[in-house]
Copies of this chain bind each other. A is one copy, B any other.
Amino acid sequence: MPPLEEEHMEPVAEQIKYILSPGSIAIVGASSDFTKFTGRTLKYLLKHGYKGKIYPINPKYDEIVGLKCFPSIEALPECVDTAFIQIPSKGVASVIKECVMKGIKGVIVHSAGLAETGEEGRRKEQEIKGMTAGTAVRLVGPNTAGVANIVESVILTPVVAYELDELTPGRIGLVSQSGGLTGALLTRAEARGIGFSYIISTGNEMDLEASDYMRFLIHDPHTDVIAVFLEGIRNVEKFYGAVDLAHEKGKPILVLKVGRAEVGSRAAASHTGALTGSDAVYDAVFKQRGIVRLEALEDLFEVSSLFSKYRPPKGTRIGMLTTTGGGATILADACGVLGFNFPKPSEETVRVSSQWLPDFASTANPLDVTMSGVGGGYSKSLDLFLRDENFDIIIAVVGTSAQFEPEMGLKAILERDKTIDKPVVSFLNPNAEKALRLLEREGIPTFRTPEACARALRYLVDYGRFLEKDSMVKVTPPARPSPDLVGIRKLLSSHQTPLNEYQSKVILAHYGIPVLKETVATSPEEGMAIAQEIGFPLVLKVLSPDILHKTEARVLKLGIVSEEDFRKAYKEILENAKRYKPDARIDGVLVQEMVQGGTEVIVGVSRDPQFGPTVMFGLGGTLVEVYQDVSLRVAPLTRTDAEEMVDEVKGSVLLRGYRGKERGDVEGLIDVILKVSRLAMDLREEVMELDINPLIILGEGSGVKAVDALIVKKDVNNLKTEAS
């Protein structure tokens, strides 16, 4: 086994390193037929120059390609570091038992046919789990396509992509929850001259999971960027832990996550529940944790390569040089759509470059250097652009010469002034694989398409913004006044679910969230007494757990300004309730102060089965579900999270003095969002969903008020939802 790196690694990282850098390997189910997958693992191990000892295991052979073959793990003359199991699923458990007995610490189970195939397979996995529990064995898979340590040439996988004659070691560590993709990504990246440090297929993650491999790569000195293909997270806390470690070590995590196309929206009693899909929660987690969410398959290596080569630029100002008009036009267009801009070069750049450029060209950006008609124009212009403080990013576009005469076409880029620390990326207009490879190997991130180039730069800029923000203090502010949790829990347990509006707001008030002055009346007389105390104008509402949409049911009356109004309305809304739903339970009539003016927003909580309580913010009114103009974060929230939530909602312009409207009390809104986050965390065992809808935002300094609210408790059996 090669010596461990100097740096101290935590146990799980060391265990993975041990598996990936073994001094000896047993291949259980090895075959001499190198065209079959059973032969390929051995073939690739040898082909790519593995230096350690290899023990093929197969009772049918005495030797395979000159290596002595053993009938079983038990029969091995020594304990190997790593066992690779590729026999049919039914035999896996007993081989693992042998491994445990032998003292083998690393087991890679390539065999499929386990949990992914149904009940019987899950039972088999449980059996294996029982066998390894409490032992030192760490297990990769089952159903893994295998693992490749490219840095040290330990290729332990039958994936056909390793037929490639050469593997370029790179600084990108790849973790994939799909085995098939590891081969695809390897061959696609190799064709571009982009290399990986490790490629790990996680399989069914019975033991080691994506987060563990991420931790290993974060510690690994050969890896700068962690690229992950994700179908789902197994353990949220472990995932968070890995991400925090990555930030600590300054290594970006780039994730391509599938599951964006969700079938329909969830059935939920609250607006918040209906608006919060599980993919949206992943999005929120990625934003909060500074994980770059990729869009396209090839982003996994193209964007990773960019991140491994450059730190984020300071801004979005691009200086572009090109030898071809069309390619630059499309690329500039794609960048413009993503918010980049193309300022004029500085006066100094114009002054100097006018020595070799015609007048109409010297102030251009994108600059078509073929206009210069002078040799060396590209090279001189590139260095000027690099030094120009008007540009944060330089893009060098090359035309057809990149394909047919790459050395000449790329000369200017390859010989650029390397002392200037500013991202230089390249887009090649023609089909030019050789040139793409050449540039990548010389440290220039390259892109096959204008769209990918623009997107990648956007990711890098956004990541830089996260880092800036992240350097600020990020703490969840304490709630004041500190709520009486025991009392609140008691109160909650005394109510049926969903809580009615009044009950819900009492809970909110316990968290210091401003609510309306209001009381429940059970007779017109009692109501009038309350009315006199609160003062006109008033609002009357029928309280019923069976009527969720009050406007629809016409059990809500605004603008009551006199006793006469009051008595009439009281009678009318009770009659409407009866008509709308004859068997509706009526808890009374809510007499409530009427708030005038302000802007309606919605703040809510819903519960993700994996990530727990999430907080949503959006503009109120009927359109919230139409435009889905809402923002989401996983609780607990920091102040920065709350501020970003407000900023992310387009409709928030209405709170910022839009078109002469009074500015809203955004400070009060942020305070409520943070208090709701606190409530969501405190009561995460009890509260399933919460809507404050509307929360009225009054003028700046005048506060906010929860006008209506709904809390859905966990005992879902009692929950009735209406067909809406």
A159 proximity list for chain B (CB < 8 A):
400
Min Cβ gap A269→B in Å is 15
**Which residue, A184, A295, A658, has most C-beta atoms of chain B within 10 A?**
A184
Per-residue interface assignment for chain A, residues 321 to 343, with 1 indicating a CB less than 8 Å from any chain B CB and 0 otherwise: 00011110110110111000000
Min Cβ gap A499→B in Å is 22
Are A650 and B627 closer than 8 Å at their CB atoms?
yes
A168 proximity list for chain B (CB < 8 A):
none
Assuming A261-B333, A629-B627, is B180 touching A429 (CB within 8 A)?
Answer: yes
Assuming A337-B261, A623-B623, A626-B650, is B296 touching A451 (CB within 8 A)?
Answer: yes
Are B429 and A183 closer than 8 Å at their CB atoms?
yes
Are B327 and A184 closer than 8 Å at their CB atoms?
yes
Are B622 and A330 closer than 8 Å at their CB atoms?
no
Min Cβ gap A663→B in Å is 14
| A628 to chain B: closest residue by CB | B650
Are A360 and B549 closer than 8 Å at their CB atoms?
no
Are B117 and A260 closer than 8 Å at their CB atoms?
no
Q: How far is the CA of A336 from the CA of B190 in the complex (A)?
A: 29
In the assembled complex, A29 has its CB within 8 A of some CB on chain B: no
In the assembled complex, A205 has its CB within 8 A of some CB on chain B: no
Are B297 and A450 closer than 8 Å at their CB atoms?
yes
In the assembled complex, A178 has its CB within 8 A of some CB on chain B: yes
Min Cβ gap A699→B in Å is 16
Min Cβ gap A655→B in Å is 12
Q: How far is the CA of A552 from the CA of B662 in the complex (A)?
A: 10
A360 proximity list for chain B (CB < 8 A):
117-118
In the assembled complex, A685 has its CB within 8 A of some CB on chain B: no
Q: How far is the CA of A653 from the CA of B330 in the complex (A)?
A: 36
Are B326 and A622 closer than 8 Å at their CB atoms?
no
Are B431 and A190 closer than 8 Å at their CB atoms?
yes
Are A187 and B336 closer than 8 Å at their CB atoms?
no
Are B179 and A326 closer than 8 Å at their CB atoms?
yes
Residue in contact with A326 in the complex, picked from B178, B337, B432, B661, CB distance below 8 Å: B178
In the assembled complex, A245 has its CB within 8 A of some CB on chain B: no
CB proximity to B under 8 Å, residues A302-333: 324-327, 329-330, 332-333
Assuming A178-B325, A181-B330, A184-B326, is B229 touching A622 (CB within 8 A)?
Answer: no
* Interchain Cβ contacts under 8 Å between A and B, 23 examples: A160-B399, A160-B404, A176-B326, A178-B329, A180-B326, A180-B327, A180-B400, A181-B324, A181-B327, A181-B330, A184-B327, A187-B432, A191-B431, A256-B330, A259-B333, A296-B450, A297-B449, A297-B450, A549-B659, A623-B623, A623-B651, A623-B654, A626-B653
Q: A188-B431, A260-B337 are in contact. List 15 more A-B contacts (CB 8 A).
A: A117-B360, A160-B403, A163-B404, A183-B399, A184-B326, A184-B327, A187-B400, A256-B330, A258-B329, A260-B333, A260-B336, A296-B451, A622-B661, A623-B654, A659-B724
**Which A residues lie at the B interface, using CB under 8 A?**
117-118, 159-161, 163, 176, 178-184, 187-188, 190-191, 229, 231, 256, 258-261, 295-298, 324-327, 329-330, 332-333, 335-337, 358, 360, 399-401, 403-404, 429-432, 449-451, 549, 551-552, 619, 622-623, 626-627, 629, 650-651, 653-654, 658-661, 724
